[in-house]
Amino acid sequence: MSADLHIDGLRLLAKIEQLGAIGALPGGGVSRLAFTKEDGLGRAQVREWMTELGLAVRMDALGNVIGRRAGEADHLPAVMTGSHIDTVATGGKYDGNLGVLAGLEVIETLNDRGITTLRPLEVGFFSNEEGSRFAPDMMGALVYMGDMSLADACASVDNDGVSVGEALASIDQVGDAQIPGPTPHAFVELHIEQGPILDKERLDIGAVTAVQGISWQRFTFYGVSNHAGTCPMSMRHDAGYVAAEVTRKVRQMTRHSPDSVGTVGVINMHPNLVNVVPNRVEMTVDLRHVDEAELVEAEAVLLAFVAATCEAEGVTFRTDRLARFQPHTFSPAVTGLIAEHAAELGLSHRLMSSGAGHDAQIIGRKCPAGMIFVPSVDGISHNIKEHTEPHHLIAGADVLLRTMVSLANQPAGGTQAGDL
């Protein structure tokens, strides 16, 4: 690949600022919850840019928007990039948006240079990735890939009783493109890390090997309320003590594997009085692992520990599953390409997993896919203080450009993205 193939960094930064101005919050950050008026304004801006770039824009009935640039062999499946432009209520201007706008910048760079790839290129934004207003998250990608029905998606309601279908109609974002959409040859997504690893390790690029699977459970422990002074320790059935032991176990379980995390985020004590032994405690355990078998094993180990600890304390328990997603492993070929192009550009990089969910893991169920991470300062995201240094935004878009060109020049029949 030509050594001087680079995107236009200032042009990318300018577009990020322009889109970030729509739904901008005082003090920084942005609020464009899915299918709100602000989301509608953001969508109109990005579609306008797509049209200006000469892309053929299509939209489906869930508001997923894809802009297409023809290839030399335009009948071949496209190489797609994209992400989302909806945000959480108090989000940043990089989360999701970077991936979409870097995709447009890739197109514009190729346009400027008169480069046509063998395969067509597509840049998309998928509806309601955040899931902050409507469940589930990654809704648009799920429907685009046929993993969720349009009817089910449109029936989802927000806290005010408004459905996705109603909200989409209200911002005039109901199209007629095919559902499910055509499966791409390969999919690559550029995203901010939303975690601290690259920033702490002072690295430029993460080549993402996998998205962690997620297990959310709620445990409720039922003990016996007793007086803190008059009840001897040997006669206690302390639901809070069990919760403490489980919290400690969750930490211990993650010691042996850098690919696993475990978090106790919620503890509700009852009656929550200084001199009363708690008789009921609800706690949540968030376990994540890149390997499904390991995640299943971790759940089993935790359950056995909970049961044994409860029995020893004379406490009963129930467990409720709050959420469960299997891990997704990206195409090693695509991940390898990303690392290779980062190296070629002289960028420091590492392989890493993602602790957060992304559209790429849904698209990647049916085609080779990969993700490029750039650092989040202090790991902060979903926050108006979310920040990524401009040179990292630009570096990530350069890696995206080269990875897409490489993938888009893969011939049919011979070497496939997944075989690289």
How many other CB atoms are found less than 10 A from the CB of residue 72? 12
Task: Find the shortest distance in angstroms from Cβ 307 to a copy of itself.
Answer: 18
Smallest distance from the beta carbon of 259 to a copy of itself, in angstroms?
Answer: 10
Q: Which two tokens stand for residue 146?
A: 């046929």
Nearer to a copy of itself, 10 or 266 (CB): 266
In whole angstroms, the minimum distance from the beta carbon of 314 to a copy of itself comes to 13
In terms of CB distance, is 37 or 385 closer to a copy of itself? 385
Burial of 198 (0-12, 13-18, 19+ CB in 10 A): buried
Between residues 58 and 236, which has the closer beta carbon with respect to a copy of itself?
236
Q: Residue 86 and residue 131: Cα distance in Å, rounded?
A: 9
**Least distance to a copy of itself from the beta carbon of 189, Å?**
16
Rounded Cα distance, 228 and 195, in Å: 42
* Residue 92 lies near a copy of itself (rule: CB under 8 A): no
With CB under 8 A as the contact rule, the residue among 205, 207, 243, 405 that binds a copy of itself is 243
C-alpha R_g of the chain: 24
Provide the terminal-to-terminal Cα distance of the chain, rounded to the nearest Å. Answer: 16
Q: Is 178 in the site for a copy of itself (CB under 8 A)?
A: no
Closest CA to 359 of 145, 48, 206: 145
Looking at 165, 181, 262, 327, which residue binds a copy of itself (CB under 8 A)? 262
102, 397 in Cβ contact below 8 A? Answer: yes
Q: Which of 184, 195, 327, 396 binds a copy of itself (CB under 8 A)?
A: 195
Considering the complex, state which of residue 144 and residue 241 has its C-beta at the smaller distance from a copy of itself: 241
Per the CB < 8 A criterion, the answer to whether 352 and 208 are in contact is yes
How is residue 344 written in tokens?
């070629």
- 275 near a copy of itself, rule: CB under 8 A: yes
Report if residue 385 touches a copy of itself, rule: CB under 8 A.
no
Separation CA 121–CA 144 (nearest Å): 17
Q: Provide, rounded to whole angstroms, the least separation between the CB of residue 62 and a copy of itself.
A: 25
Both tokens assigned to 385:
């203080």
String of contacts with a copy of itself for each residue 6-45, x by CB under 8 A: ----------------------------------------
What is the distance between the alpha carbons of residues 60 and 180, in angstroms, rounded to a whole number? 9
Q: Assess contact for 397 and 105: CB atoms under 8 A.
A: yes
Asked if residue 286 binds a copy of itself (CB under 8 A), the reply is yes
Q: Of 109 and 215, which has the nearer Cβ to a copy of itself?
A: 215
Is 216 a binding residue for a copy of itself by CB under 8 A? The answer is yes
Torsions phi, psi for 405 (to 5 deg): -65, -45
Contacts with a copy of itself by CB under 8 A lie at: 193-197, 200, 212, 214, 216, 226-233, 235, 238, 240-241, 243-245, 247-248, 251, 254-255, 258, 260-269, 272-278, 284, 286, 288, 322, 354-356, 379, 381-382
